Amino acid sequence: MTDHKEDQVNEIEALESIYPDEIEVLETDPFHIFNVIIKPTEFEETDESASCTVKFQYVQNYPDEAPVFEITDLENLDEEYEDILNDFINEQISENLGMAMVFTIVSALQEKIAVIIEDRKRQEEEEKERVFREKEEAEQKRFEGTKVSVETFLAWKLKFEAEVNELKAQRLKDNPEPKGLSGSPNNTTLQKINRQQNETSVAWSNENNPSLSHHRLRLQAICRLCTVTIKYDKRNPYTKERFHTDIFKLFGIDVQTENENEYPTYICRRDGRELYKLRSGEQTVDKSFLKDLKPPVLFTHENNDTCIACKFNPKGRPHKRRLLDDTPHKGKKIKVEEKHPASFYHPNENFNEACSNSVMIDALLKHFENLSNDGKTEFLHEMLNKMNEDDLHLMSFIIGKRISNEIYKDGQAFQLLYKDLKSMADFQCIDWLEQRNKTVLSFLLGTGNLCSELSFLRDSKQTILTITRAVEQIYMVNNPVIISPLSFLMNISAYSLSGSKTLVDILGNANPAAHYKTVTEWLRDQNADEIKIELGDVLNVFDNEQVIGRKHAIKPGNKAAISIITNKAYCCMDPNGNLQENPELKPVQLLKVNNVSSSKSTCSSNEEQDSEKLKLVVDNILTESSPQFAKFEKDHSEQLALFIKSAIETVMLEQKDEDGEIIDDFDVTAAKESLEDHMIQCPCGEWNADRKIVCTKCKRRDGLKKAKESKKESTADYTPKQKTMLKKLVFEKDSDKNTVVREEELRYAQVSSNHKGKQEIIVTDPVFCNPNSLETVARVLRMIGTENGIVRYGGSLRHWTFICCDGLPYLICKKLKDEAVVCTNNNCNKQFLSQKEFLNHVKADHPGTEHCTFIHEFDWFYLRIGAGHYEMNLMKSFFELNWTPFLESLCEKMGFVSEAAKQYAKACKDTHKTWNLLLVFHLASLRELVLPYVRDCIKKGTHPDVKGFFKFSQTFYRSINFPNYRYYFLQVTRFSQAIINFRMAVRRNNSDLIKSAKYMTKELFNGRSHPKYQSIEVYDTLQDLMMPEAVMHLNDAYTSITTTGNHSTGEDFDFILEEKNRQVKSWIPKGVPTDSIWLSVCRNNDMLEKLKRSSLSLLGIHATEGKIKELDLEEAITGYRCVLRKSNYLGKKGDHTSLSGMALDDGLVDFLEESSKRRLYFTRTEILGEEIDIPLMRHPVAITPEEKIKLSSIQSMTVDELKKEIILLLQLITDPLQQDFHNYLYKSEVKSKNKAKHIQFLEQLRETLSTFDNQENSNEESSQN
């Protein structure tokens, strides 16, 4: 059952590490009660910021039940928001029920409060704008009067003339005019009066002139100050009288005295706002654009053809006019000095110039339209070539201004394209470019001296990429916040490959690529449906993955937050297969004779038959009498023969006859190195002792000094001959159904390949637990069973399936298969994970029942150990066994000099380096092993071959006087060759060679202390032998798959899932991820990886999938051969010693026989359940005499002493997964058992610690001095 209390404690620890200053734990018993202060992370502490405090209280079944919460404090938030936030929290709880949800609730509340703050600020701005608008409208109404019509004007005119005549009569009466000679009024006065009357008559006639009415309307559409066209919308323009004081101060113009037939009536809103700012002091005259304006003098109207205001069309293209119409404007202009000072008033010459140029532009455009394309090109080239730089700059600027709005609108069209994951994964540069602004594209094509049509460049990927990047940058200049698809792909790929926030933000600052926050939010927002397992025969695989948070704060009891999941995936082995629908092919339920069925409970009679079958199979294993085992040895010998043949050919080419003696370069190099170990050669040629300062021959100091310095700096002068890499052409279909050709390296070509083409595994929803206990692994298995439609869990698709995992979950699954049962007595249907739980249930709930029936819950899957982890542990076992004899010397020669570097190499921390070291050992050793035989053949004049080599070795070295050679021969020809066979077989999906390799290496796990894989090897062998033939064929056909299509790069499902886990982790944002993030990334992993591959391809980065890195090991092989040759290690007689000269235990030579005995003992005690106790069989084969003494001393320890030692070692295990598992084993299977069990478990713990299984992988740079 789920431990809710543990989940609650884990979540509290995670919350305290994430919110160290915001969380306050109030109570812990019986359930946690704590306050969390929630405030948006993006807002600073200002008067506008807001926050709230929420008190949470766990309940017994949380997170399966909702927690109790209460909003206890609102800061800078009205009470009306409390109900809103309460409803919002309830929504979050309902969405996340069943998962740890407090972090999700807090994060969602932070975003919600941020939205509230933004809405509040927006409402305040809208209110300010409304008040300002109302104030403007109120002020504008002060200047509005009665609208003028013909009737009102005539009435006003009569009244005005009467007042004028009355005023004139009064003036004549007060000031009589002097009379002329005739006594009549002065002529000048009469002319003035007549002129005034004529002007009044003209004004009256104009009021009834339709042309003048049109002129007034045009003046009302022009700004008095800047002459721009006034746009009429819901807001009326400003009248010029509103600002008459401000205009007079700025320009010296009295707008109140201006004639409405000659001056515009209104001021545009832009100029009006600027005048308001000047009036209020928000703006100064020096910084205002109004100081540079030159308001026009007047617009005098005579007719529509000559009036500037009536001729000028402010909207669209000017009216067409004839070129001959060059009549200058004849309107009367009032002299400036008559009304205003010259320093304040200047005519607007630009306005008149624009009107006059429009005629020329119309004619030029008409001429340009009539030209051919070639004529247009020639015309523009000639025009631009004749322009000076300033005019060219101006034209470029005007073109940019002309298309600015179009670019902005076009950018808005693809602004949100990046949010569509599928569209981004299928993005193509050329298709995107064809939809962009043609002017921008043409400009870029021209600057690159390219062809004018983009379609001609479709096959030039690099050019298309460059143009796309340039277009994006131009669009970013137009709209700095735009997010363009290619730049976003570039940034999302950089995020996945590096995980660096700084790098993502750098790219976001320099490109329209978004920033880290947008990228991570984009990942969180990706939604996908649950992946359904397809029909057919399938294989499932699971593995755990974790993210450990950083501990930024220093405080007592500070623990790093950890998020652990179990990732699952499946591979469709045969989409048309129906084997898993057959219940008769379910796995044998009993792989152990003395399991739960031997109690007073019973199950079906089939189990008795299975037990008998098991005994027969075990007997076959013990006697190794089956023809299958003989085939395993034959397959091994065939591969070994190929390697020996290659070694013989290589050594034959190296030999040369000098004065009747067969030698090679290694003899010379070894002799020189032996001499240089204790001697140094002076430039004069004399050899001196290494400690000598003065040469004994030339009596000089500087010669030896230079020789010593040269010795330190010297490197091997051997230049390895480069091997020719053989490749073949492979024709296949890509994702677009196009035929593509690729080169495939013929590595491991000597092993037949059974791959069926490129295949993949599909990641399904993760299980949010750590698979380190019976409960959690059972939870994972039940989820797999449900998703596969297993009949046991109510499905109808399958009765059984395959499940693959690594070592530790394998053993837990094996225990569940043996002991987990469902009680079927009287439809009880209760589930129990162990034999002890079930027996207690029988006693408590079914007392007196003679036969309590049950079924095995997990009898529906075949268990497979991941080949990748199996190979890793084979190499670890081989290195642990042979470290002292010769591998330590090898690693020292390869540069692993310090103790830390040696431990790194011994523990096989880097699988690739371990594999290379193993190859160096194996190839160099084979050449040295065949050397005596080859030289013997050369002396005798015979041709060396593989059979002759084995015959020579058995004859010449069979004496006990060559223990070094005998042990070395066994390790090379059996174990290291079998490990290499295993790797080749996995790469080529060859099940026969894999079984052969497992058979030939079985003693490695039994000879030393490797209890986990000792059990796994035996159980795996038993299952394979008891498997129905049809199931075996299906299983063997998929021992590995290739995800690249290269038939030499196959991997088993455990390593493929680990690669998927690395992909998933690369998309996880920094910090401890929530369950929802894990789920989102897992469901979208395939699409995200497709997006990354697509973006890298677009950016010119070619994938390395399916390519094998060339191995260059000849120099290393040469170095190790010199070490062997210099010490004559293989030719030494007498005692068994290591390569460095350390004494080895006499019994190590018989390692194969001793290991086989221990495997036999394990099988009889653990599988057949025989009660035999041979203490020696529980100990590993000793390597050194000192180790043998130490192992025998354990026997003298008491049980209490053994328990103390075990508890001490358990505390030293740092890996949580290993520690939990070994604690469980100790409490359930060792603590109450006899002394033999304690000794065996103690050795297992020591082996775990000595091989550094519990430590984190060290950095590769620390592996060498």
Task: Quickly state the pLDDT bin for 720 (edges 50, 70, 90).
Answer: very low
Report how far residue 852's alpha carbon sits from residue 846's, in angstroms, rounded to the nearest whole number: 8
Query: C-alpha dihedral over 154, 156, 160, 162, to 10 degrees?
Result: 70
Report pLDDT for 447. 87
Quote helix, strand, coil % in the chain, to nearest 5.
Answer: 55, 10, 35
Report how far residue 932's alpha carbon sits from residue 935's, in angstroms, rounded to the nearest whole number: 5
Phi-psi region of 530 (alpha: psi -120 to 50; beta: other; left: phi over 0): beta
Please tell me whether residue 758 adopts helix, strand or coil conformation. strand
For the cut 50, the answer to whether the pLDDT of residue 1156 exceeds it is yes
Which own/partner contact pairs does 1028-1032 have at CB distance under 8 Å and 24+ positions apart?
Answer: 1028/584, 1028/585, 1030/579, 1030/585, 1031/579, 1031/585, 1031/862
CA-nearest of 40, 55, 54 to 119 is 40
ω into 771 cis (within 30 of 0):
no
Task: Quickly state the pLDDT bin for 996 (edges 50, 70, 90).
Answer: very high
Task: Quickly state the pLDDT bin for 1235 (edges 50, 70, 90).
Answer: confident
Report how far residue 991's alpha carbon sits from residue 982's, in angstroms, rounded to the nearest whole number: 10
Q: In the structure encoding, which two tokens stand for residue 494, read together?
A: 């950089």
Backbone angles phi, psi at 179, to 5 degrees: -95, 155
For the cut 70, the answer to whether the pLDDT of residue 203 exceeds it is no
Report pLDDT for 143. 54
Report how far residue 289's alpha carbon sits from residue 185's, in angstroms, rounded to the nearest whole number: 55
Report pLDDT for 678. 65
For the cut 60, the answer to whether the pLDDT of residue 206 exceeds it is no
1143-1162 mean pLDDT: 89
Report pLDDT for 729. 39
For β-strands 801-805 and 861-865, DSSP reports them as parallel
Under a CB-based contact definition with an 8 Å cutoff, are residues 1024 and 1005 in contact?
no
Task: Quickly state the pLDDT bin for 980 (edges 50, 70, 90).
Answer: very high
Q: Tell me: the pLDDT tens digits for 313-370? A: 544 444 444 443 343 333 333 333 333 333 333 444 444 444 455 667 777 777 778 8
Total count of residues recorded for the chain: 1265
How far, in whole angstroms, is CA 348 from its chain's centroid?
62
Report pLDDT for 236. 67
Report pLDDT for 921. 94
Q: How many CB atoms lie within 10 A of CB 286?
A: 6
Report how far residue 112's alpha carbon sits from residue 117's, in angstroms, rounded to the nearest whole number: 9
Q: Tell me: the pLDDT tens digits for 1037-1087? A: 999 999 888 888 899 999 999 888 888 888 888 778 888 888 888 888 888
Report how far residue 501's alpha carbon sits from residue 754's, in angstroms, rounded to the nearest whole number: 44
**Residue that has been written with the tokens 């203490």 in this structure:** 1175
Report how far residue 971's alpha carbon sits from residue 1151's, in angstroms, rounded to the nearest whole number: 10
| Helix (H), strand (E), coil (C) string for 486-517 | HHHHHHHHHHHHHCCHHHHHHHHHHCCCCCHH
Report pLDDT for 56. 92
DSSP letter for each residue of 225-291: TT-PBPPPSSSPPEEGGGGHHHHHHHH---GGG--TTTS--EE-HHHHHHHHHHHHTSS-TTT-GGG
Q: In the structure encoding, which two tokens stand for residue 661, read together?
A: 């003696």
Please tell me whether residue 522 adopts helix, strand or coil conformation. helix
For the cut 50, the answer to whether the pLDDT of residue 715 exceeds it is no
Q: How many CB atoms lie within 10 A of CB 1169?
A: 12
Out of 512-516, 597-601, 817-821, which region has the weakest mean confidence (pLDDT)? 597-601
For the cut 60, the answer to whether the pLDDT of residue 212 exceeds it is yes
Task: Quickly state the pLDDT bin for 176 (edges 50, 70, 90).
Answer: low
Q: How many CB atoms lie within 10 A of CB 218?
A: 21
Residue 863 DSSP label: E
The three-point CA angle 608-614-616 to 5° equals 110
First-to-final CA distance of the chain: 50
Report pLDDT for 919. 93
198-221 mean pLDDT: 58
- In sequence order, the 6+-apart residues with CB closer than 8 A to the CB of 837 are none
Out of 242-246, 711-715, 781-785, 1106-1110, which region has the weakest mean confidence (pLDDT)? 711-715
CA-nearest of 265, 257, 274 to 217 is 265
Report how far residue 456's alpha carbon sits from residue 1123's, in angstroms, rounded to the nearest whole number: 63
270-295 mean pLDDT: 75
Q: Tell me: the pLDDT tens digits for 75-114? A: 888 888 888 889 889 888 888 887 888 888 988 888 888 8
CA-nearest of 1044, 596, 1054 to 804 is 1054
Report how far residue 568's alpha carbon sits from residue 1056's, in angstroms, rounded to the nearest whole number: 11
Q: In the structure encoding, which two tokens stand for residue 317, read together?
A: 């293209």
pLDDT > 90: what percent of the chain?
Answer: 18
Report pLDDT for 1263. 37
Under a CB-based contact definition with an 8 Å cutoff, are residues 12 and 67 in contact?
no
Q: Tell me: the pLDDT tens digits for 1179-1214? A: 888 999 888 887 777 766 777 777 877 887 887 777
